[in-house]
Structure 1
Amino acid sequence: MKVKSVNVGERKTINYKGKIVETGIFKFPVKEIYIDTEGVLNDTVIDRRYHGGINQAVYAYSENHYSYWKELYPNLDWHYGMFGENLTISNLEETKIQIGDIYKLGEALLEVTKPRQPCMKLGIVFKTQNILKQFWNSTKSGIYFKVLEKGEVTKGDKLVLIKKIIGSPTIAEVYNSIP
């Protein structure tokens, strides 16, 4: 598994159906990121109830999932970071990665904590709230990590398994069990 892109977002205020909404979901590729214990430096997180913090410090999404979504939404301006992810990683597979697994990535040491649960802001990016049901009906949730050791991560770094947690559920199993 290799980092294809590192992404951050800025605070953006938009008018959504007559309501002013602030978001940091519009991520864009940068040269490098520094992963700290509660998030990625210089990345905007608006609603800390659902994003950022100790158990959701870094969000990763699989590059391999992009082709699936591009087929459903061919008219979007596609780029890495579209799902609000800090890390776009090749071959990141939710059906194989387990809660508690520990990975080395660049200078950082990361622990798998949970799948992402989509919110209406993903629908804003995709220009339709239909994406939420489609996202929920897939196992393409992406993965949140806790930071055990902070550090710099750049495009090309490899996500290397350090410790496998035998018997722990996979990200996909946890995601499919959310009511």
Structure 2
Amino acid sequence: MSLNSTIEHLFAGGMGYLEPNGQLSGIFKRRISGRVRVEVSGIVGDEHGDTRVHGGPEKAVHQYPAEHYAQIAQMFAGIEPTLIPGSLGENISAFHLSECNVHIGDILQVGGAVLQVSQPRTPCWKINHRTGVERMSVYVAQARITGWYYRVLSPGYIEVGDKIALLERKTDRFSIDQFWQVQIAQRPSIDDLNELMTVSGLSPDWKRRLEAKVKWLRE
């Protein structure tokens, strides 16, 4: 299928302290102008406060659909001026690619780099502290508007205005949205979990987590 978009904004770096307790976080991304290099570890110059759960080859680059910001702003009155692309710590902001049309394992040409969708982002409390809105992370998770992570298959340079184009699709079934529907079901189907586990390109961490869930359901 055809899947095309354009990089609207790029963000990287951005270490800062979250209110009210002063945790160090890399969610405060800075807008990038000009070309930037993407390596296996991510965008050169990007930073992460807690490398146990952020960054690394399986979470090298985070993309978030730009149109979701309007949806979130409608749910939380009064934050429209500050809820803009980059606010949730993404690296790439683009329109027309969403959790419904981006699939686990998709391989995309992004400017001069080749990236593969490895897993969805799991929203955490840092979104709440970054925006000052309690339970925003819960809404993002429940609405399944989480964005996704890429691993880098072929390093290269990217910049605003570069095209994003699908090169190869590994699964027709498991979009990011469908991933979450299976994962968060009250009692998910073991067959669905097993099928999801076998999708080429899914991160090893998520394969282990799904395998553990299958084991638990069978006990």
Q: From the two aligned structures, give the one with the greater strand fraction.
A: 1
Report deviation, 1:74.
Answer: 4.6
Would the aligned equivalents of 2:18 and 2:129 in 1 still touch at CA under 8 Å?
A: no
TM-score by length of 2: 0.75
1:139-154 pair list within 5 angstroms = 139-154=144-159
Length, aligned pairs only: 177
Would the aligned equivalents of 2:19 and 2:130 in 1 still touch at CA under 8 Å?
A: no
Q: From the two aligned structures, give the one with the greater helix fraction.
A: 2
| 1:46–1:177 CA distance, 2 compared to 1 (3 A) | farther
Q: 2:67 aligns with which of 57, 64, 67?
A: 64
Aligned to 1:39: 42
| 1:10–1:174 CA distance, 2 compared to 1 (3 A) | same
Structure with the bigger RCO (C-alpha within 8 Å, sep 6+) is 1
TM-score by length of 1: 0.91
Aligned to 2:14: 10
Q: Distance in 2 between matches of 1:54 and 1:155?
A: 23
Q: 1:94 aligns with which of 99, 102, 106?
A: 99
Q: Distance in 1 between matches of 2:31 and 2:14?
A: 12
| 1:138–1:57 CA distance, 2 compared to 1 (3 A) | same
Aligned to 1:85: 90
Q: Distance in 1 between matches of 2:51 and 2:179?
A: 21
Root-mean-square deviation (CA, aligned residues, Å) is 1.6
Structure 2 spans left out of the alignment, 5+ residues: 185-219
Structure 1 spans left out of the alignment, 5+ residues: none
Q: Is residue 170 of structure 2 the alignment partner of residue 170 of structure 1? A: no
Report deviation, 1:168.
Answer: 5.0
Q: Distance in 2 between matches of 1:166 and 1:61?
A: 21
Aligned to 1:21: 23
| Larger Rg computed on CA atoms | 2
